[in-house]
Amino acid sequence: MVSKQLTITNAQGFHMRPASVFATAMGKYSCDVTIKFNGSDYNAKSLLNIIAACIKCGSEVEVVCNGADENEALAEAAQLIESGLGE
């Protein structure tokens, strides 16, 4: 299992479009991907779960990957979040 603390920098936070970009990217991996935020776990392959987390700009989240391709998944997750999720 690998994990990383990341800060969300999108002005609108983790909303429809960024959540969709992120969930689609994570869907490619076989490992489980979880976003830990505000004491709860959210399935990062699910756009709806990410939106339900209500993650605003400036929030700190922890991305946890667990499975065969966990390192690749975490690297892409970090890259996506740091680059502003395509916004």
Partner 1 sequence: MLNGTAASDGVGIGKVLIIKELSLDYTPKEISDTDAESERFKKAVDLFCKNTMEQAENLRKSTGDKEAEILEGHIQIIKDPYLCGEIEKLIDEGQCAEAALEHMCDMFIAMFSAADDELTKQRAADVRDIKSGILSILLGVQEVKISEAPKETVIVAKELTPSMTAGINKENIVGIITETGGKTSHSAILARALEIPAVLSVDGVVSKLYDGQEVIVDGTEGVVIDSPDKNQIEEYTQKRNEYLVEKRELENYRGRKTVSASGEEYELFCNIGKPDDAVKAVECDGEGVGLFRTEFLFMDRSQIPTEDEQFEAYKKAALILKGKSLIIRTLDIGGDKDLPYLGLAKEENPFMGFRAIRYCLKNRDLFKTQLRAILRASAYGDVKIMFPLITTLDELRTGKELVEEVKSELRENNVGFNEDIQVGVMMETSSAAVIADLLAKEADFFSIGTNDLTGYTMACDRGNSDVSYLYSALQPSVLRLIKYIIECGVKNGISVGMCGEAAANSMMIPLLISFGLTEFSVSAPSVLKVRKTISTWTKSEADKVAQKVMSMSSEKEIEDYLKTVI
47 part of the interface to partner 1, by CB under 8 A = yes
Strand residue runs (E) in 8-83:
32-37, 40-43, 60-66
81 part of the interface to partner 1, by CB under 8 A = no
Residue indicated by tokens 């990383």 = 4
Of residues 2, 3, 4, 20, which one binds partner 1 by CB under 8 A? 20
> What gap in Å lies between CA 37 and CA 86, rounded to an integer?
21
48 part of the interface to partner 1, by CB under 8 A = yes
Which is the catalytic residue, given 6, 8, 14, 15? 15
Of residues 2, 3, 4, 9, which one binds partner 1 by CB under 8 A? 9
> What gap in Å lies between CA 74 and CA 31, rounded to an integer?
10
Q: Is position 82 annotated as part of the catalytic site?
A: no
